[in-house]
Amino acid sequence: MDPDRKRRALFGKPSLIVWAVGIFLVALVLMSSRWVTQPAPYCIAFASSITGPIGFTGQESLVATQIYLDQVNRSGGINGHPVELVVFDDKSSGAGAIANVPSIAESPCLAVLGHFSSAASLPAGALYKQAKIAAVTGQTAADELTKDNPYYFSAQTPNRYQGAFMADYINALVTSGRSPAASGAPTVDFIYSGDAFGRSLLAGYKEGNGGELPRTWEIAPQRDLFDASLKAVVEQLAAVPEPRIIVIGSSTDFIGPILRALRRANIHSSIFLGASGASEGIIKGVADDSDGHDASAFFQNLYAFSPLLLDSTGENGLEFAAEYARRTGKRPGWIPAKANDAARLMVEALRRAHPQLTAASKVADRERVRAALAELTSPAQAVPGLDGPIYFSATHEMPRPMRLGIFQSGRLISAPLQLVQLENLPTGAVDKEIEKGNVVSVRGKFYWLQRVVYAGIDINRLNRVDLRDGSFNADVYVWMRYGGNNEDPVQITFSDMKDPKSFMPDKPLEAVIEGDLNYRLYHLVGDFKANFDLHRYPFDQQNLIIRFQNTSKPRQQVAYAVDTFGLRVDETSYAHGNPDAFRDVDLWHVTGVRPFVGYVSTASTLGKLPLISSNNRIEYAAFDTEIQLRRDAVAFITKSLIPLFLLVLIVFATLFFPYSLVKERCTIPVTGVLTSAVLMISIDSQLPPVGYTVAMEYAFYVFFGLCLMAMLSGFTCETLRTHNRQALSAAIDLGVKLTYATTIIGTIALYFWFFGRP
């Protein structure tokens, strides 16, 4: 075969199609092999109440757990392994939990997340110990759960500690009259269910009450005795004069009936619930079943101690709340939040354990996971949780002070006064803080008296976003509502303002007292510094943050909470902003305004002798409002990149020029490179100096390469023709045209794939 026929056979149109198909098949095989060799998943058993009387707890916990595992899997999993849940329904009973254990033990699951109730976790825990598989619960508070069981871990405050803390709070702040709750009523009536859960809470309360029992009222937990027992207790309580304090210590399934019976009997005393009642869903169910009574009365003077309250958590907690609400349409309470924390601990244990995932290693893998969980018992080993670092005690529990919430219009929000455990403060300093009223002493234990400030930042107008200057200009209202008789909560600074001295905390726009709280309103206009991430420019999204932080007191004494009512925060934790506030910002769409709380920390000793010898960090409370912007990429492209598209078409057209115009075929791409370079420099001049390549620049670099290819192909084809090698010249010419077209189409497709979605 002569050389020309060989070239035509290799580079003719049919052969080019064969080559393209072959390359596609090779790529497909490579991608398939990657999928086939994807690491095996780490399986976790999710054992909780999906059905039954408290089935809602398991359903909420499952959503919350999956939220975190989805986040882990999107980031590449654990050491490359995806994480999967295998769901086991305990049907809200101990028998159901016991029945599932053999299946869990036989499964490839490395550990267990669950259960919710002690009725399920206690009997199942003994069997998990026999099967040598570790379990982590975020909700069970039974004191006996982790006792003599090295395989069970509880990311929850145990019952006795909860009861003791409830007594500490009520004695220190409520009966003394320091808290507006109950107006200093001296008498405490403790209603409890006569089961292990209720007795455990009562024992803890007795311990916190100096060994003395309050006036107690026991309700029989047996289903056939419960109604008559409850009726008798309520009738006796209704005959007792008010005001007084009522504490309810029972498991979740008894809270609703007890509360409903008390309010229907027109008992209006302040009621304090434990964590088992700190659920908006439970209380809403009680109010909905008001049976002709005023539904709003069910929420009056109603408080609940909770492991955490999301209105006063940081960014992690608010992000979780937003995602949970997006998936369910509901606000999360502590039950799903603690399930998310338990998942975080489990993932960290799996990361440290490095399971081998073979049939022979299953027992050893499970033991490594248990050992990894047992290591998470100090601040140095802590895992970032929704409300700060989380880790177990030496007894595999998390005995921490609770947060007191108050129900308002069906929502559970932080109460104005909280107790925060005091740590690492010398005795002399403690005495001085007690004299100042900043620290309270109960049973030889010391707590900071923390004032919770309901705060909000409302965007009145976003005037300008300046990428080049790294700033934005905003007109905002700032307000705070707080208790106490000093101005410590308003001693704040806007550290990201270009002129922070323009804010004067002692000159509010309005200063009044609303009910039991002080109210301060400020109006602020100024330039704020911003850190813009331009990797995706012009398909970027930017978060503009307006932050103030307290400069007077550490966050153990002053903490901020999102004023959900004042900001009209919806189910997704986003505030209902004023659409007119953003009309002056061109080329941007506002996707949300999100308030959240945080803190600013420093390790400085401040020159104080007590701090020099300690490793303590000082943390100051902060409040943030984040404006989320998405650039209108279509408008930007239409306005700025049309010249580039025209140049792409012009250079492509030169590939079809006849050979008599070979000079123009070479010079036009050169002109295209120079013109597009000037255009790129012009667009880049609108940006601040950055040390990385932005998304838009890659399009220019692709065009530069195509221009170079067009020039070289023109020279090459002309040279081949002068050497009478027309067939090879035609093949190269066709290949360049196909390469140019497919590169443009592929580039557009890649941009759409990577940047066409948020």
pLDDT tens track for 134-154: 999 999 998 999 999 999 999
DSSP code at position 190? E
Helices in 396-452 by DSSP H: which ranges?
427-436
DSSP string, 314-327: -HHHHHHHHHHHHH
* Identity at 67, one-letter amino acid code: I
Which residue's entry shows tokens 């302040």?
270
The DSSP letter of residue 485 is: S
Three-class SS of 579-628 = HHHHCCCCCEEEEEEEEEEEEEEECCCCCCHHHHCCCCCEEEEEEEEEEE
Tell me the pairing of strands 42-48 and 510-514.
unpaired
Token code pair at residue 266 = 């027109």
Residue 605's pLDDT band (boundaries 50, 70, 90)?
A: low
Structure confidence at residue 35 as a pLDDT band (50, 70, 90): very low
* pLDDT for the residue numbered 293: 62
pLDDT for residue 386 is more than 50: yes
Do residues 152 and 128 touch, judged by C-beta distance below 8 A?
A: yes
For residue 365, what are the contacts with CB-CB under 8 A and spacing of at least 6? 110, 353, 355, 356, 357
Which pLDDT band, with edges at 50, 70 and 90, does 24 fall under? low
Q: Residue 736's CB: how many other CB atoms inside 10 A?
A: 19
What is the number of residues in the chain?
758
- pLDDT one-digit tens code per residue, 257-303: 999 899 889 888 899 999 999 988 777 777 676 666 666 677 788 99
Ramachandran category for residue 687: left, alpha or beta (phi over 0 → left; psi -120 to 50 → alpha)? beta
pLDDT number for residue 363: 95
CA–CA distances in Å: residue 553 to residues 347, 490, 557, 600, 689: 36, 10, 6, 12, 38
Question: Residue 410 has what pLDDT?
Answer: 82
> 260 exposed, middle or buried (CB, 10 Å; 0-12, 13-18, 19+)?
buried
Q: Would you state the pLDDT for residue 738?
A: 94
Q: Is the pLDDT of residue 18 over 80?
A: no
| Phi/psi of residue 271, nearest 5 degrees | -115, 130
DSSP one-letter string for 163-180: HHHHHHHIIIIITTTSSS
Q: What is the pLDDT of residues 694-723, one digit of tens each?
A: 999 999 999 999 999 999 988 888 888 888
pLDDT of 554: 87
Mean pLDDT score, 543-560: 92
More confident: 576 or 444: 444
Lowest-pLDDT range, 240-244, 493-497, 525-529?
A: 240-244
- When pLDDT is averaged across residues 332-345 and rounded to a whole number, the result is 95
Average model confidence (pLDDT) across the chain: 87
- Evaluate if residue 572 carries a pLDDT over 70: no
Residue range 411-424, pLDDT digits in tens: 899 999 999 988 77
pLDDT digits (tens, 9 = 90+) for 172-187: 888 876 666 655 567 8
Residue 11 has pLDDT above 50, yes or no: no
Degrees, nearest 5: CA angle 309-315-321 = 55
Q: Is the pLDDT of residue 741 over 70?
A: yes
Largest Cα separation within the chain, whole Å, is 115
CA atoms within 13 A on the CB side of 379: 5
Average pLDDT on 226-251 reads 92
Q: What is the model's pLDDT at position 603?
A: 63
Q: DSSP label at 81?
A: B
The 3-state DSSP class for residue 449 equals: strand
Query: Which pLDDT value is given to residue 465?
Result: 94
Pick the closest to residue 652 from 700, 699, 696, 703 (CA basis). Answer: 703
| 557 within 8 A of 491, measured Cβ to Cβ | no
- Find the Cα–Cα–Cα–Cα dihedral 93, 98, 99, 104, rounded to 10°: 120
How large is the average pLDDT for residues 350-358?
A: 95
Phi, psi of 323 (to 5 degrees): -70, -40
- Using CA atoms, how far apart are residues 754 and 742, in angstroms rounded to an integer? 18
Cβ atoms of residues 731 and 700 within 8 Å: no
pLDDT of residue 663: 84
HEC string for 76-122: CCECCECEEEEEEECCCCHHHHHHHHHHHHHCCCCEEECCCCHHHHH
Band (pLDDT 50/70/90 cuts) for residue 33 is very low
Closest of 148, 149, 310 to residue 136, by C-alpha: 149
Per the structure block, which two tokens stand in for 11? Answer: 């580079």
pLDDT at 34: 46
> What percentage of residues in the chain have a pLDDT greater than 90?
59
Strand partners, 85: 44
* Segment 632-674, tens digit of pLDDT: 988 888 888 899 999 999 999 998 888 778 888 888 999 999 9
Percentage of the residues of the chain whose pLDDT score is greater than 70:
89
Phi-psi region of 264 (alpha: psi -120 to 50; beta: other; left: phi over 0): alpha
**What is the distance between the terminal CA atoms of the chain, rounded to a whole angstrom?**
57
Per DSSP (E only), the strands in 34-141 are 42-48, 83-89, 111-113, 135-137
Residue whose C-alpha is closest to residue 277's, from 100, 388, 406: 406
What span, in angstroms and rounded, lies between the C-alpha atoms of 271 and 274? 10
> What does the alpha-carbon distance between residue 88 and residue 65 come to, in Å, rounded to a whole number?
14
C-alpha 468/C-alpha 133 separation (Å) is 56
Give the whole-angstrom CA distance, residue 31 versus residue 428: 68
Note the pLDDT of residue 295.
Answer: 64
Closest listed residue to residue 700, CA positions, set 712, 683, 687, 724: 683
Is 68 within 8 Å of 347 (Cβ atoms)?
A: yes
| pTM attached to this predicted model | 0.82
Alpha carbon of 49 to those of 91, 131, 157, 327, 476: distances in Å? 5, 21, 20, 19, 46
Q: Is the pLDDT of residue 70 over 90?
A: yes
Asked if 744 and 653 count as a contact pair (C-beta separation under 8 A), the reply is no
Q: CA 470, CA 632: separation in Å to the nearest integer?
A: 19
Mean pLDDT in residue range 150-159 = 95
| pLDDT of amino acid 586 | 82
